[in-house]
Structure 1
Amino acid sequence: MENLFKTNPYNILIQPDESDEFLLFNTLTGGIEILDQEEGFLMAELQTLACFDGATRAENPGFFERMLAKEYLIRQEVDIVAFFESHTDKTQFKKAGIINLTIGTTITCNMGCAYCFEFVKPNHTLKDLRVKEQIPRYIEQIIRNDKMNHIHTLSVTWYGGEPLINVAAITDLSVGLLALAEKYKLEYAANIITNGIYLTPENIQKLVDYRVNSVQVTIDGARDVHDRKRPLKQKNAENYFRILRNLAGIPKSIDVNVRVNVDKEVAASVETMLDDFHVWGLWPQKYEHFHFDPAWLRSYEEISLTEDEKDTRMFVDEFFEFKQKFRLSLTERFNAWSQITGNRKARLKWDLPSYQSTCATWASPISLVVDPNGNIHKCWETIHDDTKAPSTVFDAYDPEIYASYSSFNRYNHNVVCRNCKYLPVCDKISCSYDALKNSVPQCTEWKYKAEHYIGQQYVMMRDTPEKIGVPQAADAVNTGHSNK
């Protein structure tokens, strides 16, 4: 019987405004193709058919073979959704080989951010010597349980609250964790999520000494906006400029990710914020290890917003428009600086939906979050709630304890989502905890904005190719972790 074919269910066919060409994007592979008008019309026709036979292949051999090789066309018998459902169940983090260890050195924070998920902040700090000694022992149990020697990396995230309030826990625990990595010949990587206030020269040196190679700091716009949205509990204490001064002291061996939680007020102040970064010699001067990560400011159901706060929130259209303007501003500022310094000019990279991996902290039986009392959690967002901890570091390690977490599968967790072409890039189910908590599935903003936003970037490339490069597939990520 002759082979039958069909279009990939994760194809998105886009015809940008005032264009004879089409864009073909696949949310599963991340692949993107530019099709001429004839090819675009043919693909549009094929997507209306349940399947088609080899006659189409014979009539358009070059196009057909190209689309088949890149999986925009697939054989009719292939059930991609069922395949990935099964594949995820069988292989999800079983052989990933990375222990993702998040340690909350304290739940206490020196800031009082209104939007923070830590609406309940118990006064817990990791000081108990028994807990400090037991954490490396528990990790060693995980390593010894790995009979097939798949584990190759120990990745540590220092978390809070504000983790640098308890820098002693970082130094004490790093000694044992680094010794463990050396003993079992594991790669070691560490990062910290901090508000930046305590990134003093002394603390930065400790981070360097204990192999922390990445820092995430949240700065919500310029001083007036940032200091109001991320206020220090200590009255009249320097905030915004203190953080910038601290960031200026970070060496090149540490990458800095500047998180910006965006609402209308933050968006209106980012140009001033970028001016300040330039004055402090942070960006673009240190572009090789300073990066910006704008995020649409989310709200937690446990937090009641005032009417004024509601008015400052952005709709999805506004945030996508902001992202494009912000990216353009960064490029223009970089190029103006490059013209003076002789650096090579930059072009925008395409901003495309990224394949969303399942949260390893939740699903991997060798990944965990440890709170200051030694309780083990499977999500960053439950670190303040002892009742959500399935085990402790004082219990014997047993992967079966975490079986219900490891069984999470984004391809079958909700029947509504199962046949959505945006399922592979849906960041609303990247946080397994939130996905399971929501009885009504939340949809990714890409579902409503991808066609327009991708088409907008194509028009920019067509009309001003000096501003933006050619599209490339986006790397897989997980964006399930929340505002910090």
Structure 2
Amino acid sequence: MSIDQAAPVTAPTARPDRETGPDATPRPDLAASGARLLQGERNWWFLGPGGVARLGSRHVTADGELRPEAEQRLRDSGMFTPAPVRAYALTVLTSTHCNLGCGYCFQNTAQDLAGGSRPPRIARTRLSSGTITSILGFTERQMAAAGLEKLRILLFGGEPLLNPRGCLELLERAADIAPTSAWMISNATLLTPSLARRLHERGLTSVQVTFDGDRDDHDRIRIGRADGSGTFDKIVRNIVKASEVTPLRWTLRVNVSQETFHGVDALIDRLAAALDPARCSLYFARVGDVGVGYANSLLHTGELSAAFTRWQRRALGLGFTVSRPGGRKTCVTCGHADGRYGAVVSADGTLASCWETAGKPDWEVGTVTDGYRPGAGTGDRWIACQDLYSYDEDARTLARFRDTVDTALLDHLQETGRL
């Protein structure tokens, strides 16, 4: 829909962006709101905290800024208003160990100097019943302080299914304190139909699984820690079997690097043939450097943005869902320095500001027993999504890439009647 119609186009938001536009400095108040303004082939797109709207040229000045009357209408329709937080977002690492040895993982502390599949990692800990008791007590206090009555749990690791008992117990006991739903980030190599069914019965609704390019590339990169074995066929097989016994939905993250770039087209077709696209969402992510010696020489060039656009269109054509662009939104977990709406808890009960620092020494910001430490003592430890990632390009180049890909996707969704 357009700004002149009764309601705006709304779209789920993708990962938060750091810039709102590639070529012009946005108005400070517009940028602070999280809004983005993108020029499409036939119209402009407004992406705000409250959704997405299609604008005509009369709504935007020659300098690419919203006209006051258009901005007011967007404000009146709620496009500048973030959706209210409805559930406390609790991330729990049920195990900090992992059965895979991916060289880019932000939980590695270095590369495997022998060139194998065992890069050194953060210390190994495992969620216990006693720690679950402390986590749930902490969660009840946090939810009461924020006035929230629902709980959304992310089962995280390491590999969370290295501790299936911890996953099941956490979900079962969490249901005693609040209506609970859950999702999981897993490599899926340990997901059996029986375990999938038991997790679903306790509130698990979706699982995010990563693929490192097509089968051959994936099996060189995403490998077993013990023996360096490939994992592609096992992961696909486990998703298929779990889908047969549960209604779980799947988010398939495709890692993009110089090692996987040329196989992504074939991967999309292979996944469409093996899985049910109607139950899967695909998103593509360039692998970044988190300071563990992993190098990705793939730059955010025109070739890469064209490839992302091609992949998204192919995925949509095959029946997959593709995450739609949106305005920048504050992460409920790491976007509030007091952990008001969410928390990241390691398996030993220590608190981190974000997934990326969980389990890492000297990055703790408190414990579930004592709560968060005073902000004055944790300011340099409180990082937000992707703050630790570094790229060879500046922020303007990264913003231009994101804007180009997002604009092309919105144009395509509009042209094909998917908005």
* SS of equivalent residue, structure 2 residue 277: coil
**Higher share in helix:** 1
Corresponding position: 1:173 with 2:187? no
Q: Closer, same or farther in 2 for the Cα pair 1:375/1:367, shift >3 Å?
A: same
* SS of equivalent residue, structure 2 residue 197: helix
Match of 1:229?
A: 221
Match of 2:328?
A: 356
| Structure 2: distance between partners of 1:331 and 1:433 | 27
Match of 1:469?
A: 417
TM-superposed CA distance for 1:141, in Å, is 2.9
Match of 1:3?
A: none
| Structure 1: distance between partners of 2:171 and 2:302 | 44
| Structure 2: distance between partners of 1:24 and 1:405 | 44
RMSD of Structure 2 on Structure 1 (CA): 4.0
* SS of equivalent residue, structure 1 residue 43: coil
Q: How many residues align?
A: 367
| Structure 1: distance between partners of 2:192 and 2:369 | 34
1:124-170 per-residue CA deviation (whole Å, 9 max, x = no partner) reads 23254422332222223334545xxx212111111111110111111
The within-5 A match list for 1:66-85 is 68-70=72-74
Match of 1:293?
A: 283
Partner residue of 2:252 out of 244, 258, 262: 258
Q: Closer, same or farther in 2 for the Cα pair 1:129/1:12, shift >3 Å?
A: closer
Partner residue of 1:152 out of 142, 149, 169: 149
Partner residue of 2:305 out of 320, 323, 329: 320
TM-superposed CA distance for 1:8, in Å, is 8.3
Q: Closer, same or farther in 2 for the Cα pair 1:437/1:247, shift >3 Å?
A: closer
Match of 2:45?
A: 25
TM-score (norm 1): 0.65
| Structure 2: distance between partners of 1:26 and 1:329 | 25
Corresponding position: 1:239 with 2:224? no
| Structure 2: distance between partners of 1:233 and 1:436 | 25
TM-superposed CA distance for 1:287, in Å, is 2.7
| Structure 2: distance between partners of 1:43 and 1:436 | 37
Q: Closer, same or farther in 2 for the Cα pair 1:293/1:393, shift >3 Å?
A: same
Q: Closer, same or farther in 2 for the Cα pair 1:173/1:315, shift >3 Å?
A: same
Contact 2:48–2:328 at 8 Å: present in 1 too?
Answer: no
Identity percentage of aligned residues: 20
Give 5+ residue unaligned stretches, structure 1.
1-5, 49-62, 73-83, 182-186, 335-345, 409-428, 473-484
Partner residue of 1:96 out of 54, 72, 85: 85
Contact 2:155–2:185 at 8 Å: present in 1 too?
Answer: yes
TM-score (norm 2): 0.74
TM-superposed CA distance for 1:272, in Å, is 2.7
Greater Rg, structure 1 or structure 2?
Answer: 1
Partner residue of 1:377 out of 343, 347, 352: 352
Q: Closer, same or farther in 2 for the Cα pair 1:64/1:326, shift >3 Å?
A: same
| Structure 1: distance between partners of 2:388 and 2:235 | 36
The within-5 A match list for 1:46-445 is 68-70=72-74, 96-120=85-109, 121-145=121-145, 150-181=147-178, 187-235=179-227, 237=229, 239-251=231-243, 253-280=247-274, 282=275, 286-305=276-295, 310=297, 313-334=298-319, 352=325, 354-362=326-334, 363=336, 364-395=339-370, 397=371, 401=373, 403=375, 432=384, 435=387, 443=395
TM-superposed CA distance for 1:403, in Å, is 4.8
Contact 1:124–1:373 at 8 Å: present in 2 too?
Answer: no
Q: Closer, same or farther in 2 for the Cα pair 1:33/1:304, shift >3 Å?
A: closer
| Structure 1: distance between partners of 2:221 and 2:360 | 25
| Structure 2: distance between partners of 1:198 and 1:70 | 47
1:216-244 per-residue CA deviation (whole Å, 9 max, x = no partner) reads 00011221100111111232645110000
| Structure 1: distance between partners of 2:348 and 2:378 | 24
The residue identity in structure 2 corresponding to 1:98 is A
The residue identity in structure 1 corresponding to 2:250 is V
Contact 2:277–2:318 at 8 Å: present in 1 too?
Answer: no
